[in-house]
Chain A
Amino acid sequence: EAGVTQSPTHLIKTRGQQATLRCSPISGHTSVYWYQQALGLGLQFLLWYDEGEERNRGNFPPRFSGRQFPNYSSELNVNALELEDSALYLCASSLDRAISGANVLTFGAGSRLTVL
């Protein structure tokens, strides 16, 4: 079974540009989560999508946005890039939306964004 796949693996942009990151969840998983992990810092929750809708977002400015497609894949867009956006962006998927609250996440390998 294919795991969570993310693309691109690495992305280099300059300040002010836009970045688009993509994620394909495990087959059958309907929830997709995005996290940011800056160097030396912990994982910061960005966005949660389920069944095509944004269900929750973390404490990030509106220039971080995304969407989930009918096939449950997801896209994260970062507009007006700033130097501090340089980080590893991790996507994770889970099977159970929140029936029991026991969401086990499977992560992709991440997309490393460097803003120059």
Chain B
Amino acid sequence: RKEVEQDPGPFNVPEGATVAFNCTYSNSASQSFFWYRQDCRKEPKLLMSVYSSGNEDGRFTAQLNRASQYISLLIRDSKLSDSATYLCVVNGRAAGNKLTFGGGTRVLVKP
């Protein structure tokens, strides 16, 4: 089983719709969680950190479910510019500070 798994997609989303997807992780000792965004042929950029209580940043909402070992990202009112690959990142101190990336979920927002 991969350490961090994501549905590769693509998720085809009509503009203005809501899309949500999850990321599962295998190491129960994982302590930090992030979502990064990667545009085609560009470097990943931090979208948001994921806190235990869940957090929201504009149209983006991230949740953490420790019991089931997954994090989620929800995008409301999707814009064409939201088209990208969303990478889930997990860090566990037991893993020697190695941040492990999921394979990414591709989202395509269409007019």
- Enumerate chain A interface residues (CB-CB to B < 8 A): 33, 35, 41-43, 45, 48, 55-56, 58, 90, 97-98, 100-110
B1 CB-CB contact with A under 8 Å: no
Inter-chain contact A45/B43, CB cutoff 8 Å:
no
Max chain A C-beta neighbours (<10 A), residue from B43, B93, B102:
B43
Q: How many residues of B are counted as interface, with CB atoms below 8 angstroms from the partner's CB atoms?
A: 25
Closest partner residue, chain A, to B91 (CB atom) = A101
Inter-chain contact B92/A101, CB cutoff 8 Å:
yes
Max chain A C-beta neighbours (<10 A), residue from B89, B98, B102, B103:
B98
Interface of A is mostly: loop
From B32, B45, B95, B101, contact of A42 by CB (8 A): B101
Within the complex, the shortest CB–CB distance from A107 to chain B, in Å, comes to: 4
Given contacts A42-B102, A102-B49, contact A109 B96 (CB under 8 A): no
Cβ–Cβ < 8 Å partners of A42 in chain B:
87, 101-104
10 intermolecular pairs with C-beta atoms under 8 Å apart: A42-B87, A45-B98, A45-B100, A58-B98, A97-B97, A98-B97, A101-B31, A105-B44, A107-B44, A108-B43
Cβ–Cβ < 8 Å partners of A100 in chain B:
32
Bound: A23/B110 CA distance, A: 37
Inter-chain contact A98/B87, CB cutoff 8 Å:
no
Inter-chain contact A107/B43, CB cutoff 8 Å:
yes
Inter-chain contact B96/A105, CB cutoff 8 Å:
no
